[in-house]
Amino acid sequence: MAIVELVMPKMGESIMEATILRWHKKPGDQVKADETILEIATDKVDSEVPSIADGEITEILYAENDVVPVGAVIARINTNVEAAATATTPEAPVQQQAEVEVVTPQEEVHEPQFTTAAGPRFYSPLVLTIAQQEGIGFAELEKIPGTGTEGRVTKKDILNYVESKAKGFVPTATPMPARAAEAPAEEQAQAQPQPQKQSQPPSQVPQVQVQVQPQTQATSNGHSVSYNGTAEIIEMDRMRKLIADHMVRSVQTSPHVTSFAEADVTNIVRWREQEKKNFEKREGEKITFTPLFIEALVKCIKRFPLLNSSLEGDKIIIKKDINVGMAAALPSGNLIVPVIRNADQLNLVGLTRQVNQLANAARNNKLKPDDTQNGTITLTNVGNFGSLAGTPIINQPQVAILAVGTIKKRPVVIETEHGDTIAIRHMMYLSMSYDHRIIDGALGSTFLSAVVHELEHFDTHREY
């Protein structure tokens, strides 16, 4: 019997674990190679995990909602078709059901559909993103009937809700809040006597706990919230904890230095304004500023390869491939960094297509795990949110991240053949954070100045 092990895939360089959202298969089921076996989620990406071979699922090692480290074996597949075919004895189904009782794919049909004493209902990043895009608040989200495990709202549930809402009909929206409210009410009734009994000797303590605890349970956003006078206390959910951990780890790993510069990008703005309609008509793609910035960044990396490196112990690893990460903020508030691989081998049209494809996939939570791996340097556009500049945190294990700010028209002194003059120009700040263990101030500033030079000397007569 040939057994292959299915492991939790790596979803990104800084992601060390993922949550199992749903199993599509159970022990005893036949699977084909590349057929979806389960859905997983991290703080950044929802993804489907396919089978790595044809065969029969013989064992599932983790249950839904389990948090599993990257690389851990999550299932085993018997690739011996003959053995799988003869394994269907009368006792086999009973044994398989007993084995999967912990994994509980069957629990999807269990009632109730809303949270019981276990706490607030879990929402996957995909569902939260759709809710944000459709303007659905958490209070309204709680009213949507869920068909997933333990009443979880699935992608299909929320899309059906949006479609019904657009038609002026919201199915079962009226009775569901009552059911949702029953559980917190019961929890409060059970929870209130305990604090009172424990805290009866000191007379002032019960008043504080009675005020806080009902507020903590009556949440609609999936977080634990309490009120204490004029303050609102929100417990961080798992996603935010992971993001916080990634940011703290980066700052603790790399001594960050940030250099700033200013670029006159008037030529780029005018060229894009002049060519964007022809570009879209000819290439079928809308051109933004991002591929133009990436093009300038790549040209400078070729001249300063140390910016495209990483540090392992006391060894500097200079990467030959130039894979540019493109930081994108999702409507849910999470940050994701899809990667444009071999950016130095793409012309402007190729860069534009990659940028648009990855950005669209990120907005719709369609990125694959491989789309966020092996970046060698990152570009983040803080100007998308109106910021003039920022001090970005390095995306480990890279050594540099470049931030571009919003483009503003300002009066600027420029040199002409007739002398200095004041003109209205399109100006943009750039800021680059770099790992001071490898990149010193001289190299960091020189590299940033080189990027500015590329942007300011953009050829307005160029071909695509």
pLDDT tens-place values along the chain, 464 residues long: 688 999 988 766 557 788 898 899 999 999 998 888 998 887 667 778 888 889 999 999 999 988 888 889 999 999 875 444 444 444 444 344 333 333 333 333 333 333 333 344 566 657 776 776 787 876 677 788 888 766 778 878 888 888 888 877 765 544 444 333 334 444 444 444 444 444 444 444 444 443 444 444 444 344 556 666 678 888 876 667 777 888 899 999 999 999 999 999 999 999 999 999 999 999 999 999 999 999 999 999 999 999 999 999 999 999 999 999 998 867 666 778 999 999 999 999 999 999 999 999 888 878 887 888 899 999 999 998 889 999 999 999 999 999 999 999 999 999 888 899 999 999 999 999 999 999 999 999 999 999 999 999 999 998 87
Angstrom distance (rounded) from CA 173 to CA 121: 16
Determine contact, residues 213/225, Cβ cutoff 8 Å. Answer: no
Cα separations (Å) of 198 from 194, 202, 213?
6, 9, 14
Q: How many CB atoms lie within 10 A of CB 377?
A: 27
Query: Is the alpha carbon torsion for 231, 236, 240, 244 positive or negative?
Result: positive
pLDDT attached to residue 192:
44
Angstrom distance (rounded) from CA 399 to CA 375: 11
Judge residue 295's burial from the number of C-beta atoms within 10 Å of its C-beta, 0-12 exposed, 13-18 middle, 19 or more buried.
buried
Q: Which residue has the tokens 């001090």?
A: 391
pTM score > 0.75 for this model? no
Tell me the chain's radius of gyration from C-alpha atoms: 27
Q: Which residue has the tokens 């599509």?
A: 24
Which residues are CB-neighbours of 204 under 8 A, at least 6 positions away?
none
Beta-strand pair 335-336/315-318: unpaired
Judge residue 111's burial from the number of C-beta atoms within 10 Å of its C-beta, 0-12 exposed, 13-18 middle, 19 or more buried.
exposed
Q: Bridge partners of 67? A: 19
Angstrom distance (rounded) from CA 15 to CA 29: 30
pLDDT attached to residue 121:
58
Phi and psi (nearest 5°) for 381? -105, 90
Token digits of residue 22:
């749903």
Q: Any idea of the CA torsion for 299, 302, 307, 312, to the nearest 10 degrees? A: 140
Q: Bridge partners of 22? A: 39
Which residues are CB-neighbours of 67 under 8 A, at least 6 positions away?
17, 18, 19, 238
At 1, is the secondary structure helix, strand, or coil? Answer: coil
Query: Which positions are catalytic?
Result: 436, 440
Q: Would residue 234 be called left, alpha or beta, if left means φ above 0 and alpha means ψ between -120 and 50 degrees? A: beta
pLDDT attached to residue 212:
40
Determine contact, residues 41/19, Cβ cutoff 8 Å. Answer: yes
At 232, is the secondary structure helix, strand, or coil? Answer: strand
Token digits of residue 354:
């990659």
Q: How many residues does the chain have?
A: 464
Token digits of residue 57:
């699922």
Q: Which residue has the tokens 């999936």?
A: 222
Which residues are CB-neighbours of 227 under 8 A, at least 6 positions away?
211, 212, 215, 233
